[in-house]
Amino acid sequence: MVGPAARQAPDDAATAVPRRAPDEAAPAARRTPAYDVAAATPDPEIPTLTIEDLGILRSVDYSPGRGTVVTITPTYSGCPALREMAADVQARLHRAGFERVTVATQLSPPWSTDWITAEGHRKLAAVGIAPPSAAPQRDGPVPLTLGVRPASPRCPRCDSPDTRLTAQFGATACKSLHRCTACGEPFEAVKPI
């Protein structure tokens, strides 16, 4: 696990350094006690990852009218986990002594896998899920990828680049299915979006 998990210097364009959300440049500035409590909320589908690791937590603010305002963003429109996460964030903050808590949704800009943090990438690889490559940057209409073999990620077990896509859709909305040609391992990957 050490090899792929530590891999932070991808060697081809398809896995170039991810874009970061604008506010990720200065994480220290947004750390508050309420932020830390909210940030530790696990993702219900992959509980080793937090909503901060996944880039789902957008901000934690305070307003006199609404109390602590936690802003989260759905990964996919139909993500069934969003509501559980919102309820969990609320419960955690209540337990930590924050009495008035509002969990707000934010749709724009839409969530991107580029918002998954370096820590998120490390944790995904550690549980055998290939982290996403950089999300497609579009300037103009979305191109049809007919006949183009999509880049398949490195095997999270043996780190071989020789893997193939077996299905574009997996057990959750955010994942695709792959198989390693070198070691035979079937694995999931987070789809770049």
Partner 1 sequence: MSTPDAGFDPDDDNPYDLLAEDHDAGQRWAFGTGFTDPLEGIDTSVPDGLDPGALVRYCLALGDDALIYSHRLQQWVARLPELEEETAVANIALDLLGQARLLLARAGGIVGQTEDQLAFFREEKDFRNVRLAEHADRDFAELVVRLLLLSTWRLALFESLSAPSPAGRADPVLAAIAAKGVNELAYHRDYAAGWVVRLGDGTELSHAKAQAALDTLWPLAGELFRPDPDAHPFIPGGSAGPAAFDAILDTVLAAAGLDRPTAAPLAAVGGRAGRDGVHTEAMGYILAELQSVARAHPDATW
Of 11-19, 44-52, 154-162, 178-186, the segment contacting partner 1 by CB under 8 A is: 44-52
- The amino acid sitting at 107 is L
Helix (H) or strand (E) segment spanning residue 87: helix 81-95
- Could you say whether residue 63 binds partner 1 (CB under 8 A)? no
Task: Report how far apart the first and last C-alpha atoms of the chain are (Å, whole number).
Answer: 25
Structure tokens at 80: 């069934």
Of 4-12, 13-21, 137-145, 180-188, the segment contacting partner 1 by CB under 8 A is: 137-145
What's the closest the beta carbon of residue 73 comes to partner 1, in angstroms? 9
- Could you say whether residue 173 binds partner 1 (CB under 8 A)? yes
Phi, psi of 62, rounded to the nearest 5 degrees: -130, 135
Which of residues 1, 119, 162, 182 is near partner 1 by CB under 8 A? 119
Q: Which residue lies nearer to partner 1 by CB, 11 or 33?
A: 33
CB contact at 8 A, 135 and 112: yes
What's the closest the beta carbon of residue 18 comes to partner 1, in angstroms? 15
Q: Which residue lies nearer to partner 1 by CB, 165 or 183?
A: 165
Which of residues 10, 19, 20, 40 is near partner 1 by CB under 8 A? 40
DSSP 19-75: P--GGGG-HHHH--HHHHHHHTPBPSSSTTSBTTTTT-EEEEEEETTTEEEEEE--S
- Could you say whether residue 83 binds partner 1 (CB under 8 A)? yes
Which is it for strands 163-167 and 175-180: parallel, antiparallel or unpaired?
Answer: antiparallel
In 76-85, which positions are buried (b, 16+ CB within 10 angstroms) versus exposed (e)?
eeebebbeeb
**Number of residues this chain uses to bind partner 1 (CB under 8 A):** 52
Binding site for partner 1 (CB under 8 A): 36-37, 39-40, 42, 44-45, 47-48, 50, 69, 71, 74, 76-80, 83-84, 86-88, 90-91, 102-111, 119, 141-142, 144-147, 166-171, 173, 177, 191, 193
